Structure 1
Amino acid sequence: MVSKKLADDLKKLFLKEIDLLTYNHLFTMKIIFEYIKNENINVPASYIEKKYGSVYVYEILKKLQNLELVKQIKPSDSKNSFYTLTEKGLLIAHILLEETEKVYKEAETIFVNSIIELVKYGRLVYGDGKGAIAFANALAKACSKIHKVNKHYEKVLDYEDKVDSNKIAEEMREILRSIKRDKTFLKQFAELALSSLTSRESDELSSSEDRDALIENILKKSIIPEIEFVSACIDSKLDPKYHRLIFAFKYSIEKFIENVKRTIIIFLTGVTTGILVYSIIILTLLFCLSYMSGALNLFLSTV
């Protein structure tokens, strides 16, 4: 992920530590690094666990402590303690994070430029160039996050495969392509894209006003069909406007079929419910008649 020259320089300085680092180690160091930078205090273990999303982070913290990159404060109980970076850890985190984020930002820009024309024909931003940039950037951020998670167990300085921003951008496009094959992943991806818009993450390509306008539009229309549209058409050679027509027709047919199915289910449910209600009423009447008949017979037998 980093350049060969930087990798070699870092290996000369910290051969043992750097060679053992994977991306989940770097992600954990990033959580600590950014918290210290913003708050200027040691980081609570509970905060690190929450940001990482798993208790497995304590195993990573132990490994980073053994490498003397992270220091534990008040070590009586892992979950109630605090952590900070050592001087060595601070230097390594600063250099690696700066280089890694630079490569990802370049990849996101390449990704946005590769899908922007397609995004412009989406229902959410049709005819709105600024809205298209904001939406494309939200898709880029979502793909970038997933890409980073997918690389968690790869070594940070594994540069033998010559990973660069162009390759990452293509792998991000592959993530977007895969959405059309998995409805569950589609919903998770949509949540990530919305999160990128609403959390005001670093976005040099669009203004906050553009994002606000897009969010307002998303509240009126669903974001999921738009992501499906971009995913389905990303590699096509056809003019995007023709894809918009084809996809809109296909989506309308699917919605029509879905509505018909829902109507049939509601009708059958209503019929079934009606039959059940009538059956209960009839059974109740029969029970009452039977009870009254028994009572009448008893009365007549005593007369």
Structure 2
Amino acid sequence: MDSLYGTSKNSTLTVTTGLHHMPFSKPRQRRHDYESWSDSSDECTHKLASASRTQAVFRDRWATGQVGGLCVRNQDNNTICINVADGHVVMIMLFWLMSITCSGPCPDNIMHEVWTCLNNLTRGGDSLMNGGDAQLMYENCQHGGFNDSLKCLRRVYDTCSDPRKKEAFFKYASIDAWESGFRRFCHNINLYMDKQECITRQSEDIKSCIEKNKDKYLDKPASVSSSDTYQSADQQLSIHNTCTFFHVTQFCYGQPIGAQCGADIRAILSDFTGGITPPMCRNYKVDDRGNSACGHHHHLVLLLFCIISYFLVCR
């Protein structure tokens, strides 16, 4: 198929459970041009059930202190957990779009297609809990992963015709911002790969910073404020937790990467993550309850380094 970055190829499925990664050989199944649309709710339900089993592992490990992470509820009161083990932060955008699959702002089959669109950016299969993978990021630039997702998402946007539902859906992604971020990142992919080892060396400091800061800001109902009076308290709290997690993560990534790996790589990554940040979080304000555990003030530019570890740390 035509591609901004190349053509698709096979990949390896990585199943992440806690601190362990198990690679299996498996071809990535791409839906070329995404002309075939699935109306099967059974297939969608199966994907969600598989995801729920994976999430349950992290929920248990989170509860016992074995793994760092974030658990939030979506608008349908379903619990979604995010893993930050070993300095990894999962692809937050993927998780939030997945959390509204089959039950969210657009009809079921359309939201199933959103999951299909984004699945090609992971290692495939049923695992949503992939850690950082620099080689995969490189492959997405070179072999069409980003281009495939953009074409698929654009088709989903065009198909979702309910104005009210579409407006709600737009809170999670901007196709134009994704595309510009992908293009600029891939233009600088050689510099990114050159700095891969430096970025990886910061993972322990990043993990420690996130662990120290997350409890200070998450699940604080008093801090939740929203101009949308139609949002329930649970919805506001979920948005607060999501956007706060983005804020804490960008803060904890920005300082060590900028200081140790250089302003150039920091600028490239901030440009990329600025595009992929959910629009609902870009101007979200997080209350400052004191000095950061990492030794800096929290009112920095919000949400520029929120999703990097999905693409950065090659284990």
Q: The TM-score by the shorter chain falls in which range?
A: under 0.3
In our comparison, the structure showing a higher alpha carbon Rg is 1
Hey, which of these two has a bigger chunk of helix by percent? 1
Q: TM-score, normalised on structure 1? A: 0.25
Hey, which of these two has a bigger chunk of strand by percent? 2
